Amino acid sequence: MMQSVPHTDSKLWLKITLGMVLGLVLGLILSPSGLKLIDPYHAIEFGRWIALPGIIFLGMLKMIVVPLIISSIVLGIIASGNTAFLKNMGIRIIPYFLITTFIAISIGVTAINIIDPAQYMDSTIAEQTMATTDEPYALFDELSIPDRIENIIPTNFTQASLEKNMLQIVIASIILGIIMLSLPKATYEPFEKLCEFGQAASMKVIEWAMVLAPYAVFGIMTKITIQLGLESIIGVGAYVLTVLFSLGGLLIFYLLIVSILGKRSPIEFIQAAKEAQLFAFSTSSSAATMPFTLKAAEENLKIKEKVSRFIIPLGATINMDGTALYQAVAALFLCSLFGVNLTTGEIFLLMITTVGASIGTPATPGVGIIVLATILSGIGVPPEGIGIILGVDRLLDMCRTTLNVTGDLVASTVMDRWMK
């Protein structure tokens, strides 16, 4: 029997929102570009210490991500009762993920072409960045699409767990669950009990972590805002607004899907998803947010467990619409800034490449910017150009992760209706 999602304070979302706002205010007051109540060195040190509850909080969530994903997928597949259900859902959800990702990228490309934020920036910034940036972006493996397909095969499950290769873990869990369906129950029942324990233990750790949640969000927001400051945001303000405008367009697209395909009220959907969205914003990790995405799906949206516990872990790995949109906007922004002119065909190829790059991108903070460096190197933009947008990347990472998680809930809502 599946374990329930974690029980949390009904006002937790309000406490998290308050912690987020207070952290933003305190960070702006203490940042070197703010009121400068203390010197920059001590401000940054203060930010590191006040973020300590957030580090512990995220550590507790990351600790249970792998066992939670394995147990959730395996138990979800067993609950489906047969492989026919999985086959029917699979032939629907994979094209759905690909189509929505491509549409998300199209929204970003349209926004960047209309606004063209590069025209509002000093033309000498690109030259200055090239001369001063020495970030080691080349450490990311530049994999071709065939290499990426080969890389998703879980040849060594232990290595995949150590490296937090979530796509391999998800695929291995799906294969394991399907195998169990083809065996007599007496054969797989001991492992099923182990999965039930793993899921129950993970949920208990999450309940403990929730005690720290408001303080964690407060500390994380304070630290990020101290390091970011107003100057970094203002310097690339047009770019930031373009990304936020694009993500807003993606949210509207999602709400249309909820209304038309899911036959749900968009307002009720947002109300049901708000806690998961807040956690996604504060943690910048779809994987760490997964327990709350499951809670929003099952308790608030009343989605069947055999749907939510298959789609949400899968979506946290391959359904990265917000990240894909962001990478397309950032790539075209830097192309414009560095004077790299792309033809319509090259832009279309960039969109295809971005779809492929977004699949299997680790659901952890900061990885999107590294994947972006690989995309840039393929279209003639120096990866060092990322230094221009690096300062505001964490803020935008929080925003795009929120849309990633929202997309998983939208997919679950649609599939729940389609699989009735």
Mean pLDDT for the stretch of residues 349-356 = 74
129 lies in a domain?
A: yes
Q: What is the mean pLDDT of the chain?
A: 80
Sequence length of the chain is 420
205: its two tokens: 């750790």
| pLDDT given at position 384 | 62
What is the C-alpha separation between 64 and 60, in angstroms, rounded? Answer: 7
7 lies in a domain?
A: no
Domain that includes residue 127, residue range: 12-418
The larger pLDDT score, comparing residue 389 to residue 267, is at 267
Q: Residue 283 maps to which CATH number?
A: 1.10.3860.10
Number of domains in the chain: 1
DSSP 7: P
**Count of beta carbons in the 10 Å neighbourhood of residue 72:** 26
Choice among 258-272, 275-289, 338-352 with the minimum mean pLDDT: 338-352
What is the C-alpha separation between 332 and 312, in angstroms, rounded? Answer: 30
**Residue 334 to residues 342, 375, 385, Cα–Cα distance (Å):** 12, 11, 7
Name the residue type at position 173.
Answer: S
Mean pLDDT for the stretch of residues 268-297 = 87
Mean pLDDT for the stretch of residues 256-285 = 91
Provide the pLDDT confidence category of residue 392 given band limits of 50, 70 and 90: confident
| pLDDT given at position 343 | 79
| pLDDT given at position 263 | 93
Asked if residue 412 has pLDDT above 90, the reply is: yes
Mean pLDDT for the stretch of residues 18-30 = 85
What is the C-alpha separation between 293 and 287, in angstroms, rounded? Answer: 10
Within the chain, what is the greatest distance between any pair of CA atoms? 70
What is the C-alpha separation between 130 and 143, in angstroms, rounded? Answer: 25
With beta carbons less than 8 A apart as the criterion, state whether 96 and 417 touch.
no
329 lies in a domain?
A: yes
pLDDT in tens, 190-230: 999 998 898 888 878 878 887 888 888 888 888 878 876 66
2 lies in a domain?
A: no
Place of tokens 């990020």: 224
| pLDDT given at position 56 | 87
| pLDDT given at position 350 | 77
Mean pLDDT for the stretch of residues 66-77 = 83
| pLDDT given at position 357 | 64
Closest CA to 60 of 233, 207, 175: 207
Asked if residue 135 has pLDDT above 50, the reply is: no
**Residue 226 to residues 56, 152, 395, Cα–Cα distance (Å):** 20, 38, 12
Asked if residue 305 has pLDDT above 90, the reply is: no
4 lies in a domain?
A: no
**376 CB-near residues (< 8 Å, 6+ apart):** 331, 334, 382, 383, 385, 386
Mean pLDDT for the stretch of residues 315-328 = 86
Provide the pLDDT confidence category of residue 7 given band limits of 50, 70 and 90: low
pTM for the whole thing?
A: 0.77
Mean pLDDT for the stretch of residues 341-368 = 68
5 lies in a domain?
A: no
The larger pLDDT score, comparing residue 149 to residue 273, is at 273
| pLDDT given at position 20 | 81
| pLDDT given at position 134 | 47
274 exposed, middle or buried (CB, 10 Å; 0-12, 13-18, 19+)?
A: middle
With beta carbons less than 8 A apart as the criterion, state whether 387 and 132 touch.
yes
Mean pLDDT for the stretch of residues 171-197 = 89
What is the C-alpha separation between 158 and 162, in angstroms, rounded? Answer: 6
73 lies in a domain?
A: yes
Choice among 52-56, 229-233, 234-238, 249-253 with the minimum mean pLDDT: 229-233
Mean pLDDT for the stretch of residues 333-355 = 79
